[in-house]
Amino acid sequence: MNKFSVKIVVLTAIGAALYGVGGLPIFGIPIFAETTLKPAMAILAIFAGLYGPVVGFLVGIIGHLITDLFAGWGVWLTWVLGSGIVGIVIGLLPKLTSNRLEKGEFPGKDIALFILLALVGNIGGFSISALLDFLLYKEPAGKVIAQAAIAGSTNTILIAIIGTAILVMIAKRKKASTGLSEE
């Protein structure tokens, strides 16, 4: 059982709920016919970046599925999987930076790595979504590739801006609460 500690269960749930809130229509910034910019993905990136691949994957899958179901815009399973993969890839951040963020440090090279992981995760995740749309719905390859490219690039930009900004603030806060020394 101890594969899933209580902490992971709770962080997943809170992250998924926040992902849902981040997908509310009030945030929607329309940028292209079928695509709106929503900060849900940035929240996924923040949770994955802070707590690793397991939380990242679960927040992506559960958050996306629950949001789709309860917001009433149908179930797009292939895209749910894409979000999960984005979560796994960005979740590599703590391991690759030996948990520096947890100690309140988020230097430039870690930020670059964070954005790079977001890019790789989005390309990987949404290529798989596009492939599944192509296989399961027989949608034309050109259309699904264009869709994945638009979703992937806007998500990456969004994560790079909002995700980074909030992680920097969180790092600053963590630093403030760990920098105490005994007198």
Partner 1 sequence: MDKSKITFGLSYIETGSPLHRLSGFTKLVLFLWWITLILTTFDLRVLTGFFIVGIVLLSLAQIPFKVYRPFVFFMVYIVTLNTLFIYLFAPLQGPEFIGSHTELFIFTKRYVVTLETLVYLAVIAVKFLAIFPMALLFVFSTHPTEFAASLNKIKVPYPIAYAVSLTLRYLPEITKDFVNILHAQQARGVDISRNVSLRKRIRNIASILFPLILSSLEKADVITNAMTLRGFGKGHSRTWYNARPMAIGDWVVLAAMAVWTVPHFIIRASIDGLFWYPF
Enumerate binding residues for partner 1 (CB under 8 A): 1-14, 16-18, 20-22, 24-27, 29, 33-34, 39, 42-43, 46, 58, 62-63, 66, 68-75, 77, 136-143, 146-147, 158, 161-162, 165-166, 169-170, 173
Nearer to partner 1, 138 or 181 (CB): 138
The encoded tokens of residue 111 equal 């930020």
For residue 71, the minimal CB distance to partner 1 (Å) is 5
Q: What is the DSSP string of the chain?
A: -TTS-HHHHHHHHHHHHHHHHHTSGGG-EEEETTEEE-THHHHHHHHHHHH-HHHHHHHHHHHHHHHHHHHTS---HHHHHHHHHHHHHHTTHHHHTTTTGGGT---HHHHHHHHHHHHHHHHHHHHHHHHHHHHHS---HHHHHHHHHHHHHHHHHHIIIIIHHHHHHHHHHHHHHH-----
Distance CA 64, CA 75 (A): 9
For residue 182, the minimal CB distance to partner 1 (Å) is 24
For residue 3, the minimal CB distance to partner 1 (Å) is 8
For residue 51, the minimal CB distance to partner 1 (Å) is 10
For residue 110, the minimal CB distance to partner 1 (Å) is 18
Nearer to partner 1, 27 or 107 (CB): 27
Nearer to partner 1, 26 or 181 (CB): 26
Nearer to partner 1, 15 or 182 (CB): 15
Distance CA 18, CA 50 (A): 15
Nearer to partner 1, 139 or 181 (CB): 139
